[in-house]
Each structure stands twice: as structure tokens, then as C-alpha cells.
Amino acid sequence: MVISQRAEPTLLTDQVYDMIHAAILSGDLPAGSRLKVRDLAEQVGTSVMPVREAIRRLEETGLAERQPHKGAVVKNLTFEELIHVYDVRRLLETEAARLGAEKVTAEDCNRMQAEYDLMRKAIDEGQAVALLDHDEAMLAILYQAAANPVLLQVIRTLWQQCRAYKIVGAQGSLDAAEDDSLWRYQQDLLTAARNNDPAAAAAVNEASLRNASERIKTRLAEQKAI
């Protein structure tokens, strides 16, 4: 029997994917950045094959897309698309908070508290990416308590799709010293979790994501007025 294709170097491809993925989530590769195969291969020290495969995976997860005359680029959501993403996030994360608050343990809450404390430290230091990392880690602990891995995976995918906007939005809020929305909702969510109060947890997430959606709609209106 003749095998016409060579086996993919899966481990190497995974490593390259992780590197590019991390650069996108950190903002080092912002939305709209071209993903040039040869340039990336040179940067990560591999051949072009694992880079091509990594980019294909990024396209499948919605973090990259093909554009005419540019090739693959980091996906840039429009404000209209962001509104849709946040509407879906609100539905899913309100339910995830409700389910998680029913089952979250005292140990889970202590882990949430640790992430919250690190998030507040990142706010004090003006570190937008670290702020988002600890915020998402805190939320993930609560959502994991819901014991629905599919729900958490879908939410994580939505987080990644709007990460570029979240970085910009977080930095804008950090620059506005009087803005307490970066920590107020998380503080209330932690209280609801410690009280095993599903209704309160759901209400906090509903309010938080509605607030985020309204900010996006305001930006959209401003853009259209220009």
C-alpha cells in the first residue's frame, strides 16, 4: 500500500497554535493583523507546514479569517457583530452563573477570591490583559461548578472572539479612574457565589453584560454619526 500523504507533526502544530493563539489573546497580534506564514514560521522557528495548520485551526475557531489580497488575518469584529456576541454571552453567562451558584463550594469561592484579588491588583497597576485573564479565570471557576463543560466551552469561544475589543474596552475603563465597572460586578458575583444565591448571581451577570452591550451600542452610534 502506498501512502500519499505524510503524517502531520501534531505536537509541533499544537505548540505553534498555542504561540499564535496566546499572541492574539494578549493583544500582541491585534485584530486585523496579517498572519504571514513565512514570517510567523521564522519567528517561532519552524517550517511553514505547522504554521499553515495552526492558522487553519484559528480560522475554525473564529479567531482568524481570509481576506482578499491579504490572506489570513486576525478577525476583527464589527460593532454590530460585537452586539450579537454580547447578546449571546448574556444569555449563556446568566444561565451559567445561575447554575454555578447552586453548586459552587467554599473552596471554589476561595479560588474565585484569589483571582478577584489578582484582578484588583492588575487594575491598580493598569494591566488590561492581566485584568481580563484573572476576570475570566474567576468566572470560569463559577461556570465550571455548573458541571456543563459544553456550556463553558462555548462561553470561552465567545470570550476569545471578542478578546480584541475587551482589551481596548478594559484599557479605556482603566484610563477613566472613576469607572468602577471593572470590579463592582465581580465583587457582587463573588458575594452571590458565597451565599449560593442563583438568582443574585444571574442578576449580576445580566447587569454586567447589559452594561457592556450598552457601551458597545454607544460606540456604534458614535461611529455612525461620524
**84 and 66 belong to one structural domain:** no
**Cell, residue 12:** 509541533
Q: Note down the domain range covering 193.
A: 79-225
**Residue 2, in any domain of the structure:** no
- Model confidence at 7, pLDDT cuts 50, 70, 90, reads very low
**147 and 95 belong to one structural domain:** yes
**Residue 14, in any domain of the structure:** yes
Number of CB atoms found within 10 A of residue 11's CB: 9
pLDDT over 50 (residue 1): no
Mean pLDDT of 156-182: 82
Whether 66 and 59 have beta carbons less than 8 Å apart is answered as yes
Whether 187 and 135 have beta carbons less than 8 Å apart is answered as no
**Span 211-222, pLDDT tens digits:** 888 887 777 677
pLDDT confidence of residue 131: 94
pLDDT confidence of residue 9: 54
**30 and 99 belong to one structural domain:** no
pLDDT confidence of residue 223: 61
Nearest to 81 by CA among 216, 173, 225: 216
Q: Domain count of the chain?
A: 2
Choosing from 52, 74, 96, the residue where a domain stops is 74
- State CA 87 to chain mean position distance: 15
Whether 116 and 138 have beta carbons less than 8 Å apart is answered as yes
**Span 179-207, pLDDT tens digits:** 788 899 999 999 999 999 999 999 999 99
**Residue 3, in any domain of the structure:** no
Residue 14 belongs to a domain with what CATH number?
1.10.10.10
pTM, two decimal places? 0.79
